[in-house]
Amino acid sequence: MSLLRTRDISIHFGGIAALDEVDLSIEAGEIVGILGPNGAGKSTLFNVISGFLKPAHGRILYMEEEITHLLPYERVGIGLGRTFQHVRLFRNLTVYENLLAAQHRHLSSGSFAAMLRLPGWRRDEDQAHARVEQILDVVNLRPWRDARPGELSYGTTRFLELAAVLSIKPKVLLLDEPASGIQQKEVEALGPLLKQIRDETGVAILLIEHDMGLLLKTSERIYALDFGKIIAEGTPDEVTANDQVLESYLGRTRRKSTATA
């Protein structure tokens, strides 16, 4: 039984098929990479899985239950976390407040409890603050506790974003180019880090990454996507040896270079 599965997902933008009958699945605790050139539909696929886009056709199954109709926040509620290709975060909130906001899912007290300082609110606040204090130490963001994301290096905001999305304790984590814009040294550490996160939490990770080294080293299984279609699936070795993948990935650049030459 797969943890998350898409069936025949299709979506069109102005007559162009951004996704064309995409079937993929991910097991609990698996790290699955998605390979594909720019415009292949990778981020669109993430938007469909996380509920930010409605597919024209197809279904999304999570633990064998259909979740196609669920809104993005409801999918977070059942354990689907995601990051964005461009770091979002809350720009006007501090690092601490960002992490506090990420605790939302684990709290339950209402607005009147807060306005009247009822015990339920107190318990929630204690729990949320204790967790964030802990996370700050673990991710080594304490020196930036009161800084706003704009004051951090891009790499640091990536880790803040990762810490925030892990705070929701997802069962499936969709990472959209986590290595883009960060230093090479940090990129190299990211692979082992993702594996470690997986080992310690059992989270399944679906990974979009342009850094081929990272993608191939980290993923246990890879789907290759081109023009919205899955053109190959298998282990990193199998996929990189696939003719169609070579054609779409390397062939295109070859063609391009001959054209410009």
Nearer Cβ to another protein (49/239): 49
- Residue 31 CA to residue 178 CA, distance in Å, equals 14
Nearer Cβ to another protein (19/128): 128
Q: How far is the CB of 124 from another protein (least distance, A)?
A: 6
Nearer Cβ to another protein (35/214): 214
Q: Which residues pair with 148 in a beta bridge?
A: none
Contact between 117 and 71 under an 8 Å Cβ cutoff? The reply is no
**Strands 80-82 vs 172-176: parallel, antiparallel or unpaired:** parallel
Residue pointed to by tokens 């023009």 = 227
Nearer Cβ to another protein (171/229): 171
Q: How far is the CB of 247 from another protein (least distance, A)?
A: 35
Judged by the rule CB under 8 A, the positions of this chain that interact with another protein are: 50, 52, 71-73, 76-77, 81-84, 88-93, 97, 100-102, 104-105, 107-111, 113-117, 121, 123-131, 134-135, 138-140, 153, 155-156, 159, 162-169, 186, 189-190, 192-193, 196-197, 200-201, 203
Q: How far is CA 182 from the centre of its chain?
A: 16
The continuous run of DSSP H or E covering 165 comes out as helix 154-167
Nearer Cβ to another protein (10/201): 201
Tally Cβ neighbours within 10 Å of residue 54: 10
Q: How far is the CB of 67 from another protein (least distance, A)?
A: 14
Position 121, amino acid: W
Tally Cβ neighbours within 10 Å of residue 194: 24
Q: How far is the CB of 144 from another protein (least distance, A)?
A: 9
